[in-house]
Amino acid sequence: MRFSQAWIVATKDFATFTKKRNIIYTVLIVPLVVSVALPGVVWYVQHRVNGADVGAAELTILLPAFVFFYLIIAGFIPTTIASYSLVGEKIEKSMEPLLATPTTDGEILFGKGLAAFVPPMGAILASSVLFMALMDTFTRGALGYYYFPNWDAAALLYLAVPLAVVMSVEWNVFVSSRVSDVRIAQQLGAIMILPLAGLYVGGEIGLVPLGDLNTTLYIAAALAIVDLLLLSVVRETFQRDQILTKWK
């Protein structure tokens, strides 16, 4: 596995993405909106004219739930890119000449994975910094301290989120090998949002203690296992013989 070779495959995709407006929108706008809208909600609640003030107790429940949003969006943002990057190649029939170059199947797979991983990851991390800064600014008064950064948020953003992005990328590679319509690929690809959203709902109804470092580490461990399982499936699917004859 030569990283440089995989990177060339990925840079080709990056060059293509910059020409696709919907990809730019999904990858940049969604995390940005979350990062501005959620602090905006907190700010609004605190500045309502007649409302009761949100106290420190409510905030310490609200804030970790809000951070969890990043895990949910991590589950679907790669979908747009991965489905375009693979189903697009299928439609343009551009896998065959690529496979004819001295690039191994693993390098192509890794390159495609990087192409779908790097932009969402970058956008999520950058916007999460904005999110934490805004939240700290708006909640410092009520809390008396800066809520962010903290260990739980760090474990979520730097461990669980990348693992969720990897899961989504792998799942989308698998889906893209089975369907030849970008839209269907995107709908099936976004299914990975369900278990993550399920966890969020579990947190809201008190089944899953969100905002707890241990919970986040358990979630990360589960994601890591799913990632490894999916990797073996994806490697099986991503073989030149299969790509040219079975991918429909």
Q: How far is CA 15 from CA 2, 19, 24, 35, in A?
A: 21, 7, 12, 26
Q: Which one, 35 or 80, has the nearer CB to another protein?
A: 80
- Distance of closest approach, residue 166 Cβ to another protein, in angstroms: 25
Class of residue 231 by CB neighbours under 10 A (exposed 0-12, middle 13-18, buried 19+): middle
**Contact between 178 and another protein per CB under 8 A:** no
**Contact between 130 and another protein per CB under 8 A:** no
Q: Which one, 16 or 150, has the nearer CB to another protein?
A: 16
- Whether the CB-CB separation of 113 and 18 falls below 8 Å is answered with no
**Contact between 83 and another protein per CB under 8 A:** no
Q: Tell which residue, 125, 3, 134, has the closest CA to residue 70.
A: 125
Dist CA 75 CA 223 (whole Å): 11
Q: Taking the CB of residue 237, how many other CB atoms lie within 10 A of it?
A: 16
- Distance of closest approach, residue 93 Cβ to another protein, in angstroms: 4
Q: Tell which residue, 80, 73, 64, 61, has the closest CA to residue 125.
A: 73
Stretch of 35-43, 46-54, 57-65, 240-248 lying at the interface with another protein (CB under 8 A): 240-248
Q: Which of 21, 93, 206, 232 binds another protein (CB under 8 A)?
A: 93
**Contact between 235 and another protein per CB under 8 A:** no
Per-residue x/- marks for another protein, 11-30, CB under 8 A? xx--xx--xx----------
DSSP 8-state assignment for residue 180: -
Chain positions contacting another protein, by CB under 8 A:
5, 8-9, 11-12, 15-16, 19-20, 92-104, 240-241, 244-245
